[in-house]
Amino acid sequence: MRLLIMGPQGVGKGTQAALLAEHYGIPAISTGDIFRYNIKNRTELGLEALKYTDKGELVPDELTNTIVKDRLAMDDAQGGWILDGYPRNASQVEALDAMLAELGTPLDKVVALDADHEVLMERIAKRAAEQGRSDDTPEAIAKRLATYAKETEPLLDIYRDRGQLVAIDGVGEINAIQAAIVEVLG
Ligand code: AMP
């Protein structure tokens, strides 16, 4: 199973991606987690990414596309994967299309989670208090929501047109949302 999980910050993508990964026995690949790991370990990639992540801006496509390509080439990704947080703009969709064409492994479905603005803000505030992520400042949060609306949300139309979109309500109990996703994916 090769899946994307898309939706605004705070909608529960990471949580649902982890549960789907467990259900299907595939790795959940989060570009945000890869950047955070590299930032924590002060790698060259991390130091470059930090210039953007802390401001709530997207890391340049070239760098982001490369880490995804490298990650999809790893052994544990050969039987499928779920990508969380990628693609985030039209150019990343093109890059992913090219990667998958080259690998000969088409995408199965795109799970889109959504929730009202108020619900998202509440969850983001809770996460900021619990996890203390350095990019959870009010300015960075607002920037990420704006970037999502402008650059990422329109991508849902692309996948809808391709007949791959599965839209799920992200409000409710975690296990009930998971069950709804699995039911639609089959
Ligand atoms: P996330 O955990 O998905 O919210 O990602 C945290 C941060 O990592 C984002 O605010 C971006 O700065 C960066 N990032 C994650 N995924 C991408 C992507 N696909 N393209 C560009 N930047 C990304």
- What is the predicted pLDDT for the residue at 100? 97
Annotated catalytic, 2? no
| pLDDT band for position 52 (cuts 50, 70, 90) | very high
- What is the predicted pLDDT for the residue at 39? 96
Whether ligand 1 lies within 6 angstroms of the CB of 178 is answered as no
Whether ligand 1 lies within 6 angstroms of the CB of 28 is answered as no
CA quadruple 147, 151, 152, 153: dihedral positive or negative? positive
Q: How far is the CA of 75 from the centre of ligand 1 (A)?
A: 24
Whether ligand 1 lies within 6 angstroms of the CB of 31 is answered as yes
Q: How far is the CA of 32 from the centre of ligand 1 (A)?
A: 5
Q: If you take atom 19 of ligand 1, which residue's CA is the nearest one?
A: 86
- Residue 103: pLDDT over 90: yes
Residue 147 and residue 140 in contact, taking contact as beta carbons nearer than 8 Å: no
- What is the predicted pLDDT for the residue at 84? 98
Residue 141 and residue 54 in contact, taking contact as beta carbons nearer than 8 Å: no
Average pLDDT in the chain: 95
| CA distances, 129 to each of 69, 76, 136, 172 (Å) | 33, 33, 9, 21
Paired tokens of 104? 């000969």
3-state secondary structure of 157: helix
- What is the predicted pLDDT for the residue at 128? 86
CATH number at residue 85: 3.40.50.300
| Predicted confidence (pLDDT) per residue in 12-43, tens digit | 999 999 999 999 999 999 999 999 999 999 99
- What is the predicted pLDDT for the residue at 127? 86
Per the structure, the complete domain to which residue 22 belongs is given by 2-185
| Predicted confidence (pLDDT) per residue in 112-159, tens digit | 999 998 999 889 988 888 988 788 888 888 899 999 999 999 999 999
Q: What is the pTM of this model?
A: 0.94
**Secondary structure element (H or E) that encloses residue 95, with its range:** helix 90-103
Count of helix runs (H) and strand runs (E) in the chain: 9, 5
The structural domain count of the chain equals: 1
- What is the predicted pLDDT for the residue at 133? 79
Amino acid at 181: I
